[in-house]
A and B are shown apart, each in its own frame.
Chain A
Amino acid sequence: MTIIAKNVIKEFGEPPTRVIQGIDLSIHDGEFVSISGRSGSGKSTLLYLLSTLDDPSYGHITIDGIEPQKMSVDELHRFRNQHLGFVFQFHFLLPELTALENVLLPARRDNRHYDKEDEARELFKTFGIVDKIHKLPSQLSGGEQQRVAIARALIMRPKYLFADEPTGSLDSKNGQIVMDILKRCNSEWGTTLVLVTHEAEYAAMAQREVFLIDGRVTENHTTS
């Protein structure tokens, strides 16, 4: 099963400006794909389109054969909750909740947070932040906050993980830790990882690199 984008076009504004100009792309189960390009090349827009956060102006995107645009609002949100995980440049942790409560937030949607608590603790252990479990986000460093955000994205064991510049606001050491964690998610758990980054070093960690210029795919090749 895959994510398939067919002739996807995205326009913004009036008169419309095309940010994504007819992209065809397939992402296979368990793959680690990086999307890179210069600022304004449309890489984040493409990620949002692939991850159901945005709808294409033209063309079609299917995830596991399902077209998210045709889902009802409730179906779409349930689908996101159960199958998709998101990591953004900013951690977006809820400041009034502890790290553990933040991680369990997706599970709380359907009152499954009690069932997921052991799993959450395991993630904290795996990510080396088990001692931060009851800390508030404000008591964590930038790297720790981002690791908590990744744990939150993974708590529902999503099939797809979308990461938009997850290392963008971190120093190189923490950036590397975060990238290692993401890579492990892909290699050990088989989570399909789509990473948007402007850092060539991190893009090269993917199995396949997609390079965008002005909303068009100029390179799409597997790494050695």
Chain B
Amino acid sequence: MLFLAIRHLLSRKKQTVLIFLGISLGTLMFTVISGMQLGMREFIEARLLSNTSHIQISARDNIIDRDEMTERFYGNQPVDWLVPPAGKREEAHIMYPQGWFDRLSNDPNVTGYSPSFTMNVIISHRESKYPSSLIGIIPTMYQQVMDLQKYVSEGRITDLSEGGNKVIIGVSMLKKLGSQIGDNILISSGLGELRPFKIVGTFSMGMEQIDDSLMFASLKDVQTLNKTPGQINGISVSLVNMERAHELASQWQLTSRDKVQSWEQANAQFLQIFDFQDYTRLAVTAAILIVAGFGIYNVLSIMISQKRKEIAILRSIGYPPKMIMELFLIQGIMLGVTGAIIGLGIGHLINMYLSTVSLGIGMGGDNTMTISYAPSIYIEGFLLAFISAILASFLPARAASKLTPLDIIRSDV
């Protein structure tokens, strides 16, 4: 029936081309929109992961509980507190870090981990004071978890290894402070003591709020500044497969009082935007393909009403209903498949072009749009076109197969 299907399509060139263009345009739009949106997603995920590990273990704040205090001091007696006890019990820190280190060292899913101590500090420089977050790290371990060196624009992350009160700060902060590499800044933990730290490098992660407020120093220096030697309040973990982060984090959480969060949980609100984007992308594409589908439906329906005599003769010379149905289904599928292939191909070329266009805005990297070429885009695009073509051609094809030769001969002669 392929031969006849091709002849039918070729005999109505204009209609065929229009439908073909409709399907091509639908899949083209899907490829381009998906490439851009997923590219943006990859870009943002990469940025998020530049300062978020696959799994982050952090100390849970130990909040004073009124009922617990009542029971501890007064047993079961009813107590009416004038001012109920509240607030943090102590500085949050991971109680048994060694337990975590042993566990993570032996877990085959883990490629690396890095203990850290993060604290809020005040930077004093000249007459100005700025709030900031200071992260104490062991550079070699941190580098295994997050490739910080990639974002270091000046200096080297290993410069922090030897300690000696050195910091690497974000480029925006350096600019704000009006400082230069080699300058000393005064950092206070908020407990009153000011310690001088030397700027030995800068980083740029392409996200203003990070480049403007984050600093890295050696773990020991930060612990000393906070007067909590040996304490850590975070462990960053990298995994063999980041897709398993949520599953493993949930598993680990079951056996620990520390807070265990996957990178998705840590950025849940942000990632919800992507879900919304996905719905929008599918809705736009579905709308285009529905229009193209109606096109196929209309063309085939008109073709069938015009070819009733031919259907009659085909039935009388021995073509059964299923072959008649096949004849029109093949036409719909051919339009869907060829339209999809051409649409995907042109969409791919457009994406290749878009990935070279400079945006002229500060996005980090090479300042061009990140386009995704994930195979799933092409597979989904093809299936959307293919399925809509089958659905659109099924009804007319079935109607054609139900025509009997006699009804047509009697009505037309």
A residues near B (Cβ < 8 Å) are 48, 53-54, 73-74, 76-82, 86, 88-90, 92-97, 105-106, 108-109, 152-153
Q: Which residue in chain A gives the minimum CB-CB distance to B315?
A: A77
Interface residue? B312 (CB, 8 A): yes
Tell me which of B318, B409, B412 contacts A78 (CB under 8 A).
B318
Across the interface, which residues of B come within 8 angstroms of A73, CB to CB?
320-321
Question: Interface digits, B307-319 against A, CB 8 Å rule (1 contact, 0 not)?
Answer: 0011011111111
Task: Given A53-B405, A54-B406, A81-B318, output 17 extra A-B contacts at Cβ < 8 Å.
Answer: A53-B316, A77-B319, A77-B320, A80-B316, A80-B317, A80-B318, A81-B317, A82-B318, A90-B309, A90-B413, A92-B309, A94-B4, A96-B7, A96-B10, A105-B314, A108-B4, A109-B317
**Residues from 304 to 342 in B contacting A, C-beta threshold 8 Å:** 309-310, 312-323
Assembled-state Cα–Cα distance A80/B405 (Å): 12
Q: Known contacts A48-B406, A95-B11: does B316 contact A86 (CB below 8 Å)?
A: yes
Across the interface, which residues of B come within 8 angstroms of A89, CB to CB?
413
Assembled-state Cα–Cα distance A93/B319 (Å): 15
Across the interface, which residues of B come within 8 angstroms of A74, CB to CB?
320, 322
Q: Known contacts A81-B318, A109-B318: does B310 contact A94 (CB below 8 Å)?
A: yes
Q: Which residue in chain B gives the minimum CB-CB distance to A113?
A: B3
Interface residue? B398 (CB, 8 A): no
Across the interface, which residues of B come within 8 angstroms of A77, CB to CB?
315, 318-320
12 A–B contacts from the bound complex (CB under 8 Å): A76-B320, A81-B317, A81-B318, A88-B313, A88-B413, A94-B7, A94-B310, A96-B7, A96-B10, A108-B3, A109-B318, A109-B319
**Residues from 353 to 377 in B contacting A, C-beta threshold 8 Å:** none
Q: Known contacts A54-B406, A96-B7, A96-B10: does B318 contact A106 (CB below 8 Å)?
A: yes
Tell me which of B4, B11, B323, B406 contacts A53 (CB under 8 A).
B406
Q: Known contacts A54-B406, A92-B310, A94-B310: does B317 contact A105 (CB below 8 Å)?
A: yes
B400, chain A: closest CB distance, angstroms: 14
Q: Are B317 and A106 in contact (CB under 8 A)?
A: yes
Size band of the B side of the interface? 20 to 34
A163, chain B: closest CB distance, angstroms: 12
Q: Are B312 and A92 in contact (CB under 8 A)?
A: yes
B406, chain A: closest CB distance, angstroms: 5
Assembled-state Cα–Cα distance A48/B408 (Å): 13
State the main secondary structure of chain B at its contact with A: helix
- Of A77, A89, A152, chain B has the most CB atoms within 10 Å of the CB of A77
Assembled-state Cα–Cα distance A108/B309 (Å): 18
B413, chain A: closest CB distance, angstroms: 6
Assembled-state Cα–Cα distance A96/B91 (Å): 86
Question: Interface digits, B5-35 against A, CB 8 Å rule (1 contact, 0 not)?
Answer: 0011011000000000000000000000000
Q: Which 3 A-B pairs have the closest CB atoms?
A: A81-B318, A96-B11, A92-B313
- Of B316, B406, B409, chain A has the most CB atoms within 10 Å of the CB of B316
Across the interface, which residues of A come within 8 angstroms of B406, CB to CB?
48, 53-54
Across the interface, which residues of B come within 8 angstroms of A54, CB to CB?
406
Question: Interface digits, B198-219 against A, CB 8 Å rule (1 contact, 0 not)?
Answer: 0000000000000000000000
Tell me which of A76, A109, A152 contacts B323 (CB under 8 A).
A109
Assembled-state Cα–Cα distance A108/B313 (Å): 14
B33, chain A: closest CB distance, angstroms: 38
Q: Known contacts A90-B309, A108-B3: does B8 contact A96 (CB below 8 Å)?
A: yes
A102, chain B: closest CB distance, angstroms: 9
Assembled-state Cα–Cα distance A109/B1 (Å): 8
Q: Which residue in chain B gives the minimum CB-CB distance to A74?
A: B320
Assembled-state Cα–Cα distance A77/B404 (Å): 12
Assembled-state Cα–Cα distance A181/B406 (Å): 25
Across the interface, which residues of B come within 8 angstroms of A88, CB to CB?
313, 409, 413
Q: Known contacts A96-B7, A96-B8: does B309 contact A86 (CB below 8 Å)?
A: no
A147, chain B: closest CB distance, angstroms: 16
B399, chain A: closest CB distance, angstroms: 17
Q: Known contacts A53-B405, A94-B310, A109-B323: does B317 contact A152 (CB below 8 Å)?
A: yes
Q: Which residue in chain A gives the minimum CB-CB distance to B7?
A: A96
Q: Which residue in chain B gives the minimum CB-CB distance to A55?
A: B406
Q: Which residue in chain B gives the minimum CB-CB distance to A53?
A: B406
B303, chain A: closest CB distance, angstroms: 11
Q: Are B8 and A86 in contact (CB under 8 A)?
A: no
Q: Which residue in chain B gives the minimum CB-CB distance to A83?
A: B318
B307, chain A: closest CB distance, angstroms: 8
- Of B4, B8, B323, B409, chain A has the most CB atoms within 10 Å of the CB of B409
Assembled-state Cα–Cα distance A90/B309 (Å): 9
- Of B310, B312, B317, chain A has the most CB atoms within 10 Å of the CB of B317
